[in-house]
């Protein structure tokens, strides 16, 4: 038990230290090459002037670089690599026991984190170029292309779960059924879940907001995995948590950098994968508690859907601006108050999700 606890907590500390150490050279590079958006959002999705959004963002004035997510996935990858290399080439019972890179638990989450991050990095680079006049997001990969990438990654992961890990069921919270057998429908279900979580990436809109929320969510799933004795997966979640905390150290207002797509694409997809890992593979309920643990993301996506639907059907808005966190800013809440209240809410959601997963 002691070695399992150390296996989980030590990588988290190591990832935090790595993140703190790589941030100064990274930020020097980002500022030197002016890797920030050159103008604020000018148009909404339906092509109308985004007056409120433009006033809230003001990217051309802030000159805050994107690509801060490199700290998260970079620190995670470095930590995993260091521990694996020590176990492989130095050896010894202690180091071997600390190694948490395993085919059954961490290959897929690590792969989706890195693959999503690299695609997001390409998008971030394109976004930081000069924007075409009147564009919505300015450069960058189109939404269609990003969704295709997410679907492709989700499909590969689903096929791995289905054929390699022989997973085709999900746990039934509350004991209604021992397992819900989806059969081949597990694959499209997996893709829909990943797409839904990815949509929640729009929460990355205020200094410190996404970092605190995702820290709570990965901490929750780390706790669930540990309870299920999936110690490698718990260590992975703890590593991501430590890396996010290092990012958050420099992202607290005024932010030194933004998470942006190189962080959000990897983290959202990986969160969905981890939820599936803590489901039938761990004889648990990771999928059923996902909407609770990720409720801040659910609410954020819902506010966008409600806003767009209301404008299409009623010709008027429900919120001053969407997503919801920007609505709170628009009605006069200071950004730090929005962020800290989201942090509190995300911790409560994480606690509730863990509780339900353990008693389910």
Query: DSSP characters for 261-280?
Result: HHHHHHHHHHHHHHHHHTTG
Instruction: Name the band, by pLDDT with cuts 50, 70 and 90, for residue 135.
Output: very low
277 closest CA partner among 77, 159, 104: 104
Q: How far, CA to CA in Å, does 162 sit from each of 109, 114, 150, 153?
A: 15, 21, 18, 14
Task: Give yes or no for a contact between 286 and 221, defined as CB atoms under 8 angstroms apart.
Answer: yes
Mean pLDDT over 258-274 rounds to 96
Q: At 77, list the tokens.
A: 């990858």
Structure confidence at residue 177 (pLDDT): 61
231 closest CA partner among 49, 2, 56, 5: 5
Mean pLDDT over 159-180 rounds to 83
Mean pLDDT over 236-253 rounds to 96
Q: How many domains does the chain have?
A: 1
Distance CA 321, CA 308 (A): 10
Beta bridge partners of 171: 179
Q: At 327, list the tokens.
A: 């609505």
Structure confidence at residue 316 (pLDDT): 87
Distance CA 74, CA 240 (A): 10
Task: Give yes or no for a contact between 75 and 15, defined as CB atoms under 8 angstroms apart.
Answer: yes
Distance CA 346, CA 93 (A): 38
Q: What is the mean pLDDT of the chain?
A: 90
Task: Give yes or no for a contact between 285 and 220, defined as CB atoms under 8 angstroms apart.
Answer: no
Domain that holds residue 332: 2-359
Phi and psi at residue 43, to the nearest 5° = -125, 145
Ligand-binding annotation for 261, yes or no, is: yes
295 torsion bin: left (phi>0), alpha (psi -120 to 50), beta (else): alpha
Using the predicted structure, report yes or no on whether residue 133 has a pLDDT greater than 60.
no
Mean pLDDT over 212-233 rounds to 97
- Sequence-separated (6 or more) residues with CB below 8 Å from residue 318: 306, 307, 310
269 closest CA partner among 55, 79, 110, 33: 110
- Sequence-separated (6 or more) residues with CB below 8 Å from residue 108: 157, 160, 161, 273, 277
Structure confidence at residue 171 (pLDDT): 87
Structure confidence at residue 134 (pLDDT): 45
Instruction: Name the band, by pLDDT with cuts 50, 70 and 90, for residue 136.
Output: very low
Q: What percent of the chain has pLDDT over 70?
A: 89
Task: Give yes or no for a contact between 109 and 15, defined as CB atoms under 8 angstroms apart.
Answer: no
DSSP-H helix ranges across 165-320: 186-199, 209-227, 231-251, 260-277, 290-293, 295-313
Report the chain's terminal Cα–Cα distance, integer Å.
24
DSSP-H helix ranges across the chain: 2-32, 51-57, 59-62, 70-85, 93-98, 107-127, 143-159, 186-199, 209-227, 231-251, 260-277, 290-293, 295-313, 324-330, 335-359
Phi and psi at residue 310, to the nearest 5° = -65, -40
Instruction: Name the band, by pLDDT with cuts 50, 70 and 90, for residue 62.
Output: low
Instruction: Name the band, by pLDDT with cuts 50, 70 and 90, for residue 50.
Output: low
Instruction: Name the band, by pLDDT with cuts 50, 70 and 90, for residue 205.
Output: confident
Structure confidence at residue 137 (pLDDT): 45
Instruction: Name the band, by pLDDT with cuts 50, 70 and 90, for residue 322.
Output: confident
Mean pLDDT over 291-296 rounds to 97
Mean pLDDT over 296-323 rounds to 91
Structure confidence at residue 3 (pLDDT): 85
């Amino acid at each position: 038990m002691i070695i399992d606890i150390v296996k989980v907590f030590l990588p988290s500390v190591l990832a935090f230290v790595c993140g703190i150490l790589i941030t100064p050279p990274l930020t020097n590079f980002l500022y030197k090459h002016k890797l920030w958006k050159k103008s604020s959002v000018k148009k909404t999705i339906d092509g109308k002037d985004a007056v409120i959004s433009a006033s809230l963002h003001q990217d051309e004035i802030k000159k805050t670089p994107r690509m801060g997510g490199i700290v998260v996935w970079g620190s995670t990858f470095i930590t995993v690599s260091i521990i694996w290399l020590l176990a492989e080439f130095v050896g010894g019972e202690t180091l071997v026991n600390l190694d948490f890179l395993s085919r059954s638990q961490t290959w897929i989450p690590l792969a989706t984190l890195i693959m999503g991050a690299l695609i997001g990095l390409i998008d971030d680079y394109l976004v930081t170029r000069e924007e075409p006049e009147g564009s919505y997001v300015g450069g960058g990969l189109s939404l269609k292309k990003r969704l295709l990438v997410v679907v492709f990654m989700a499909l590969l992961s689903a096929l791995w779960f289905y054929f390699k890990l022989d997973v085709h069921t999900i746990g039934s919270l509350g004991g209604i059924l021992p397992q819900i057998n989806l059969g081949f429908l597990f694959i499209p279900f997996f893709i829909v879940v990943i797409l839904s979580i990815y949509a929640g990436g729009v929460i990355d809109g205020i200094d410190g907001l996404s970092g605190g929320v995702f820290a709570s969510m990965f901490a929750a799933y780390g706790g669930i995995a540990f309870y299920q004795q999936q110690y490698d997966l718990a260590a992975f979640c703890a590593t991501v948590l430590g890396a996010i905390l290092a990012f958050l150290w420099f992202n607290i207002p005024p932010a030194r950098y933004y998470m942006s797509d190189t962080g959000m694409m990897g983290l959202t997809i990986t969160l969905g994968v981890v939820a599936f890992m803590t489901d039938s593979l761990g004889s648990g309920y990771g999928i059923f508690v996902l909407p609770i643990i990720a409720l801040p993301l659910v609410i954020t996506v819902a506010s966008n859907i409600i806003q767009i639907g209301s404008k299409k059907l009623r010709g008027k808005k429900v919120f001053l601006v969407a997503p919801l966190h920007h609505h709170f800013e628009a009605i006069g809440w200071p950004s730090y108050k929005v962020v800290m209240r989201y942090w509190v809410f995300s911790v409560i959601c994480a606690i509730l999700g863990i509780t339900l997963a353990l008693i389910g």
